[in-house]
Amino acid sequence: NWSLSSVGVDINDPAQRAKCIMIGDRKYDAEGAKICGVDSMGVLYGHGTEEEIYASGFTVYASSVSDIAKILI
């Protein structure tokens, strides 16, 4: 929640949290997003294995940087 607050997100406002997404490459990123109540995107080209990323329960998945852009836009 500190990270969200540090960029001006009111963590008590569901509409503001709905505009946020955690992009990560480890299961801890998905867990953090869940704790903060935001969506998450697991990238399949980082430090975590594909098996770990898919098992972590991210909201969506991206296999490349261009996939991230397509999902966000």
Write down the pLDDT at residue 2.
84
Q: What is the pLDDT of residue 41?
A: 97
Tens of pLDDT, residues 27-69 = 999 999 999 999 999 999 989 999 999 999 999 999 999 999 9
User: If we measure between CA atoms, which residue out of 21, 18, 16, 19 comes closest to residue 43?
Assistant: 21
Cα separation, 15 vs 20, whole angstroms: 9
Euclidean distance between CA atoms 19 and 64, whole angstroms: 21
pLDDT of 20: 93
User: What is the C-alpha to C-alpha distance for residues 67 and 33, in angstroms, rounded to an integer?
Assistant: 20
The predicted structure's pLDDT at residue 3: 84
pLDDT mean over 3-20: 90
